Amino acid sequence: MSCDYPADHANGSITFYTLDMGSAEVNCSYQITGRNPDVVAHVPFGGGQYFAAMNTEDYNSAGMCGACVEVSRDDGRKVQAMVVDQCPIATNPKCVRGHIDLSKNAFLQIGEEREGYLGTTNGGAAGKISWRYIPCPTTSPVTFRLKDATNKYWNEILVEGHAHPIEKVEVEINGTWQTATRQSYNYFVVGDGNMGNAPYHVRATDINGSTVEAMLELKAGGQPASAQFPACN
| DSSP three-state, residue 69 | strand
Whether the bond into 199 is cis, omega within 30 of 0: yes
| DSSP three-state, residue 197 | coil
Please compute, for residue 225, the number of CA atoms within 13 A of its CA located in the half-sphere on the CB side: 23
Regions of the chain with pLDDT less than 50:
none
Question: What are the residue ranges of helices labelled H in the chain?
Answer: 56-59, 104-107
Check whether domain 143-224 has CATH 2.60.40.760, yes or no? yes
pLDDT value at position 220?
A: 95
Sorted by where each begins, the domain ranges of the chain are 9-134, 143-224
Q: Is 222 exposed, middle or buried (0-12, 13-18, 19+ CB in 10 A)?
A: middle
- CATH fold of 9-134 reads Barwin-like endoglucanases (2.40.40)
Could you read off the pLDDT of 186-215 as tens digits, one per residue? Answer: 999 999 999 999 999 999 999 999 999 999
Record the pTM. Answer: 0.96
pLDDT value at position 24?
A: 85
pLDDT value at position 125?
A: 87
Could you read off the pLDDT of 21-30 as tens digits, one per residue? Answer: 877 899 999 9
Asked if 169 and 188 count as a contact pair (C-beta separation under 8 A), the reply is yes
